[in-house]
């Protein structure tokens, strides 16, 4: 095991966690580590185990959904190999505003497998939720994201210095933060499966481009007779809605009238493409 190797595993729906993972890797490399970031959609369980075996520090990152991890990341955690010797974790989440306890709620599950959270951080990123029932505003102008991303760059840099100095840091790891997280996590888990059934397609608008099905991280969308058909495994990543070329996907039967004025969120920077996250 090389003490300088850090392997970062992340899930990203529409780019925010991808951006943080890549910046984290870049900053760690500047500090003398050999860090690499891997989308969990691009590595097999065998490849993940091999990378963990040779790494001294493991990174885990995901977007917060209702103070919870996406189901796809929960599944990834459940498949992580058990370690004979404990290894430190740098854990991070991306969020719109607040998550309560970030990724600290996974501590027990991770520690049982030999992964010890030593660093945990939360990154407030642009809102990627553009469905019409969501009341908060969103923007898709990359230029408007620049000030926020600059603040996140500094936050990432500060975190990396702590890692390099082996200085532990756990943002929002106390009991109050854990208790406050359940304000969101409890209701979110209760309605999670119920909310999966409300995706629909405007057959008149759909152009059968297959983008939604090809981008789905869990194979929840199948093209039938030229139209996408949803199953019951949605993880709320927002790719199908945000990247539909015809704006033909609706939620709860509603068309998003805001799309007549602006496109949905499609990453924090113009160089992001969701295809970058998928195994080729």
Q: Collapsing DSSP states into helix, strand and coil, what is residue 275?
A: helix
- pLDDT band at residue 2 under the 50/70/90 scheme: low
Structural domains in the chain, sorted by start? 5-185 (3.40.50.360), 195-269 (3.30.70.20)
- What is the dihedral sign for C-alpha 4, 268, 248, 250? positive
- pLDDT band at residue 130 under the 50/70/90 scheme: confident
Q: What is the mean pLDDT of residues 66-87?
A: 97
Check if the beta carbon of residue 185 is closer than 8 Å to that of residue 68: yes
Instruction: Give 192-200's long-range contacts (Cβ < 8 A, gap of 24+).
Output: 192/66, 192/71, 193/232, 195/236, 196/230, 196/232, 196/233, 196/234, 197/230, 197/232, 198/251, 198/252, 198/253, 199/230, 199/234, 199/240, 199/249, 199/250, 199/251, 200/230, 200/249, 200/250, 200/251, 200/253
pLDDT in tens, 231-240: 999 999 999 9
Q: Which residues pair with 122 in a beta bridge?
A: 93
Does pLDDT of 138 surpass 80?
A: yes
pLDDT at 59: 98
Burial 62-84 (b: 16+ CB within 10 A, else e): bbbbbbbbbbbbeebbeebeeee
pLDDT at 3: 67
Cα separation values, 42 from 21, 46, 64, 178, 217, Å: 14, 12, 20, 31, 10
Note the pTM of the prediction, 2 decimals. 0.96
Q: Kindly state the percentage of the chain with pLDDT values over 70.
A: 98
pLDDT in tens, 249-270: 999 988 777 777 788 999 999 9
């Amino acid at each position: 095991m090389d003490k300088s190797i850090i392997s970062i595993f992340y899930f990203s729906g529409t780019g925010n966690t991808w951006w943080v993972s890549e910046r984290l890797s870049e900053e760690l490399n500047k500090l003398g580590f050999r860090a690499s970031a891997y989308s969990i959609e691009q590595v097999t369980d065998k490849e993940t185990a091999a990378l963990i075996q040779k790494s001294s520090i493991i990174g885990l990152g995901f977007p917060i959904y209702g103070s919870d991890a996406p189901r796809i990341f929960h599944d990834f955690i459940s498949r992580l190999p058990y370690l004979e010797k404990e290894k430190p974790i740098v854990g991070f989440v991306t969020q719109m505003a607040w998550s309560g306890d970030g990724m600290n709620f996974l501590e027990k599950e991770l520690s049982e497998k030999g992964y010890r959270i030593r660093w945990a951080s939360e990154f407030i990123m642009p809102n990627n939720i553009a469905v019409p029932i969501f009341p908060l505003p969103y923007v898709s102008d990359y230029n408007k994201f620049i000030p926020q991303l600059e603040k996140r760059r500094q936050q990432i840099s500060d975190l990396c210095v702590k890692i390099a100095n082996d200085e532990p840091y756990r943002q929002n790891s106390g009991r109050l933060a854990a208790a406050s997280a359940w304000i969101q996590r409890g209701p979110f888990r209760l309605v999670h499966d119920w909310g999966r059934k409300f995706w629909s397609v405007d057959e008149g608008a759909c152009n059968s481009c297959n983008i939604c099905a090809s981008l789905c991280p869990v194979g929840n969308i199948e093209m039938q007779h030229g139209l996408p058909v949803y199953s019951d495994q949605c993880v709320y990543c927002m790719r199908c809605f945000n990247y539909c070329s015809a704006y033909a996907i609706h939620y709860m039967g509603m068309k998003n009238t805001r799309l007549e004025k602006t496109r949905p969120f499609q990453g924090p920077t113009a160089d992001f493409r969701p295809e970058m996250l998928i195994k080729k």
